[in-house]
C-alpha cells in the first residue's frame, strides 16, 4: 500500500494524474484532506469512484490515535499512535503560553542503547516513513478546530532522528510546506544523541531547525557507559558538529543534560561541561532523570539539581531547568508504548 502522506504536493499531483487520471485540482483537494488526517470516506468533495480506487491501493491517514492520557496536573496529553502495520509509537502534547508543542517519534524503538531510556529497551523495530511522522502531527492538529493547534514540534519521542536521516529530512520538508500544515522549521527541534556525520549533513542542508544535542556527560569514558554512541563519536566531535551547525545556519544550539543521581551531577562535571561549551552560543536544558523501572537508575534530587544549575550559571553557561510535565501520565519517552505492549501481548 502507498502512503499518500509520504508525498509532497508535486509528487501527489504527479502520482494521481498518471495512476488515476485525475485533474491537478483534484489532487489539490486530496492533498488538503490528507492534511486533516482523515480516511477516504470523509473526502466528501472527491468522487466515490476515485475514493474507492484510492482505497484499493493507498493509505490516507498513516497513523491513528488509539489512546490518550491527560495529565490532571498540567493538561499535558500523551498519545499512542497506531501505524497501519499494527506497531505503536507515542507522542506528547505540552501546552505553553505561546502555543502547543508536540513531541513525536521517528522510529519504532531505537538502536542507540542509551542506558536510561525506555525507547531502546527492545531495540529498533523499524524506521517511520516521512508520512508516518507527519501523520502524528496531523492527527493531533486535527483534534481541535483551530488550523494551527500544534505550533511547535520536537523530535524527542522514541527513536534517533539522525538514524532515520532521509525520512526525517523529508518530513521536515512536508511539515513546513505552506500548502500543507506549514509549521516553520524555526519552530521545530531535532534532538540527537550525537551521530556526527549526519549532524554535518544536516548543517550542510542549511535547514533552520533547532538542533539539540543530548550530552548528559562531558567525560567520554563515563558517557560511553550510558550512551554507547560515544564509542563511535566522542563528545568533542559532537560539540564541534554543533558549532558547525551554528556556523551554517546561525541557529543557537541546545544541550540536553539529564541528571542521574551521583553519576553526572558533580562540580567536576559542570566544570568540564563549561569548558567543552566555552564560547559557543548554547543553552543547556537540565532535567532530572525520569526513572524507568527496567533501568534501575535514579534521578538527581531537587536540591542537587539546583546546585548543579548554580554551578553552570557561575561558570557562565546559560542554563535552565526544563519543566517536567505530565509526570502522572507515564513520563519518560517510551514508557507508554511499553505498558501498551505489555497489556496487549497475548
- For ligand SAH, which residue of 13, 35, 37, 191 counts as binding (CB under 6 A)? 191
Q: Which helix (H) or strand (E) holds 229?
A: helix 229-232
Nearest by Cα to 82 from 49, 128, 120: 128
Asked if 134 and 175 count as a contact pair (C-beta separation under 8 A), the reply is yes
Is 92 among the residues that bind ligand SAH (CB under 6 A)? Answer: no
Is 188 among the residues that bind ligand SAH (CB under 6 A)? Answer: no
Nearest by Cα to 15 from 62, 64, 50, 39: 50
208 CB contacts (<8 Å, ≥6 apart)? 185, 186, 249, 250, 251
Burial of 141 (0-12, 13-18, 19+ CB in 10 A): buried
- For ligand SAH, which residue of 5, 37, 100, 192 counts as binding (CB under 6 A)? 192
Select from 11-19, 109-117, 131-139, 235-243 the region that touches ligand SAH (CB under 6 A). Answer: 109-117
Is 69 among the residues that bind ligand SAH (CB under 6 A)? Answer: no
Is 104 among the residues that bind ligand SAH (CB under 6 A)? Answer: no
Please, what is the minimum distance in Å from the beta carbon of residue 113 to ligand SAH? 11
Q: CA-to-CA distance for 283 and 195, rounded, in angstroms?
A: 20
For ligand SAH, the closer CB: 199 or 270? 199
Select from 56-64, 201-209, 266-274, 282-290 the region that touches ligand SAH (CB under 6 A). Answer: 282-290
Is 332 among the residues that bind ligand SAH (CB under 6 A)? Answer: yes
- For ligand SAH, which residue of 132, 160, 265, 330 counts as binding (CB under 6 A)? 160
Q: CA-to-CA distance for 329 and 75, rounded, in angstroms?
A: 10
Is 116 among the residues that bind ligand SAH (CB under 6 A)? Answer: yes
Is 117 among the residues that bind ligand SAH (CB under 6 A)? Answer: yes
Is 90 among the residues that bind ligand SAH (CB under 6 A)? Answer: no
For ligand SAH, the closer CB: 177 or 237? 237
For ligand SAH, the closer CB: 116 or 245? 116
Please, what is the minimum distance in Å from the beta carbon of residue 18 to ligand SAH? 38
Asked if 235 and 218 count as a contact pair (C-beta separation under 8 A), the reply is yes
Q: Which residues are catalytic?
A: 90, 333
DSSP string computed for 201-252 = HHHHHT--PEEEEE---SSHHHHHHH-THHHHS-HHHHHHHHHHHHHHH-PP
Asked if 172 and 214 count as a contact pair (C-beta separation under 8 A), the reply is no
Nearest by Cα to 120 from 266, 200, 226, 36: 226
Per CB under 6 A, residues contacting ligand SAH are 114, 116-117, 156, 160, 191-193, 214, 256, 258, 287, 289-290, 292, 332-333
Amino acid at each position: 500500500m502507498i502512503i499518500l502522506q509520504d508525498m509532497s504536493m508535486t509528487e501527489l499531483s504527479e502520482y494521481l494524474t498518471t495512476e488515476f487520471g485525475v485533474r491537478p485540482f483534484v489532487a489539490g483537494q486530496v492533498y488538503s484532506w490528507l492534511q486533516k488526517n482523515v480516511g477516504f470516506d470523509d473526502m466528501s468533495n472527491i468522487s466515490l469512484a476515485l475514493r474507492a480506487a484510492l482505497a484499493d491501493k493507498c493509505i490516507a491517514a498513516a497513523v491513528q490515535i488509539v489512546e490518550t492520557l491527560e495529565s490532571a496536573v498540567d493538561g499535558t496529553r500523551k498519545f499512542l499512535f497506531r501505524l497501519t502495520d499494527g506497531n505503536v509509537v507515542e507522542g506528547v502534547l505540552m501546552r505553553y503560553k505561546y502555543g502547543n508543542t508536540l513531541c513525536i517519534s521517528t522510529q519504532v524503538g531505537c538502536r542507540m542503547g542509551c542506558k536510561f531510556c525506555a525507547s531502546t529497551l527492545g531495540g529498533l523495530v523499524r524506521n517511520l516513513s516521512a508520512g508516518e511522522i507527519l501523520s502524528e502531527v496531523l492527527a493531533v492538529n486535527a483534534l481541535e478546530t483551530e488550523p494551527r493547534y500544534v505550533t511547535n514540534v520536537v523530535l524527542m519521542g522514541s527513536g534517533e532522528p539522525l538514524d532515520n536521516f532521509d525520512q526525517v529530512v523529508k518530513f521536515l520538508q512536508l511539515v513546513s510546506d505552506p500548502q500543507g500544515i506549514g509549521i516553520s522549521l524555526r519552530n521545530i527541534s531535532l534532538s540527537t544523541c550525537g551521530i556526527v556525520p549526519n549532524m554535518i549533513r544536516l548543517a550542510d542542508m542549511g535547514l533552520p531547525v533547532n538542533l539539540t544535542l543530548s550530552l548528559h556527560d562531558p567525560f567520554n569514558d563515563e558517557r560511553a557507559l550510558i550512551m554507547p554512541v560515544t564509542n563511535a563519536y566522542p563528545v568533542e566531535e559532537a560539540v564541534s558538529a554543533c558549532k558547525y551547525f551554528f556556523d551554517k545556519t546561525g541557529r543557537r544550539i541546545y544541550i540536553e543534560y539529564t541528571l542521574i543521581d551521583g553519576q553526572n551531577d558533580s562540580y567536576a562535571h559542570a566544570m568540564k561541561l563549561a569548558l567543552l561549551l566555552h564560547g559557543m552560543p548554547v543553552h543547556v536544558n537540565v532535567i532530572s532523570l525520569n526513572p524507568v523501572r527496567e533501568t534501575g537508575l535514579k534521578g538527581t534530587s531537587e536540591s542537587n539539581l539546583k546546585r548543579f544549575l548554580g554551578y553552570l550559571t557561575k561558570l557562565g553557561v546559560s542554563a535552565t531547568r526544563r519543566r517536567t510535565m505530565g509526570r502522572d501520565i507515564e513520563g519518560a519517552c517510551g514508557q507508554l508504548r511499553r505498558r501498551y505492549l505489555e497489556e496487549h501481548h497475548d
